[in-house]
Amino acid sequence: MTKILVIENVAATRNFFLEGIKAKGFQTIGADNGVIGVHLAQKELPDLIISAIMLPKLDGYSLLRVLRQNPTTAIIPLIFVTAKATRDDIRKGMELGVDDYLTKPCTVDELLKAIAARLKRQATLQQCYSAQCQLIAEPLSADIKKSSDPKSVFLSNPKLSEVFRFIETNFHRAITLADVAQAVGYSPAYLTNLMRRQTGQTVQSWIIQRRIEAAHSLLLETSESVEEIAAKVGYKCPVNFFRQFRQHYGTTPHAWRKECRSYIALSSLSPE
């Protein structure tokens, strides 16, 4: 069930939105200030967030900035529903990565239409990304005996060429979103928003994808231990490498290596 978080300090407004959204079959969560909103977003990982801007403890802009800088919440669509809708207000929100604006007072129908539009766009981006990954990262293709070019994990996108170039050069180091943003001259929030809009993913997810692809080549072409390979591709902690490898490919590095080598051995025995 699609989960939606509503962050609004006025109880009547919050309950109005929650009840209207829930009536359409969504699972709903409510928060009455920005600090609780961030906590629930990180804990519950909702599919979409509705937020006011004028919030106690942490305003909407600061909340958005925190969410966009965290890899686990960076790609969650967020819609501001607010009376602060001047041109400068809207521009500030867009620069931080907000997905849409609705002006108070608004109806539940207007809110539901905005939600549907954002969820549809998010699903489209994720489908496109999944299709790209399927083409790029098939581990047991017919030409597995050939070393694939790990750089192919990156999409051809002129707006992100500098970003991908920096990741390519530095993925084996302990780089973060802040490092990449500084290298290309963007703020972390702006870069997160740009990457999310262009690819549907985060900067960190691309770093991980590049590391995993480099690990594939080393697993296939060398006899180095999995722990040594993890260190070479940028993991200080092998446990993180094991976890992310399994998340991406549903198996362990050891099992992947064994399966690939068995496939190669069988292929070498097959007639041309």
**Rg of the chain, C-alpha, whole Å:** 22
Task: Give the residue, 143 or 212, on which the prediction is more confident.
Answer: 212
Domain span(s) for CATH 1.10.10.60 in the chain: 138-269
In tens, the pLDDT along 39-82 reads 999 888 898 999 999 999 999 999 998 888 776 787 788 999 98
The Cα–Cα gap between 34 and 32 comes to 7
159 pLDDT higher than 80: yes
- What CATH number was assigned to the domain covering residues 138-269? 1.10.10.60
Return the biggest CA–CA distance within the chain: 74
Give me 200's structure tokens: 């549907």
Structure tokens at 55: 């919030």
What 237-245 contacts at long range (C-beta under 8 Å, 24+ apart), as own/partner pairs, is 241/211, 241/215, 244/208, 244/211, 244/212, 245/212, 245/215
Q: What's the pLDDT tens digit per position in 223-265?
A: 899 999 999 999 888 878 887 887 776 677 887 788 777 766 6
Kindly report the average pLDDT of the chain as a whole number.
82
Residue whose C-alpha is closest to residue 7's, from 95, 72, 73: 73
Quickly name the fold that domain 3-123 has.
Rossmann fold (3.40.50)
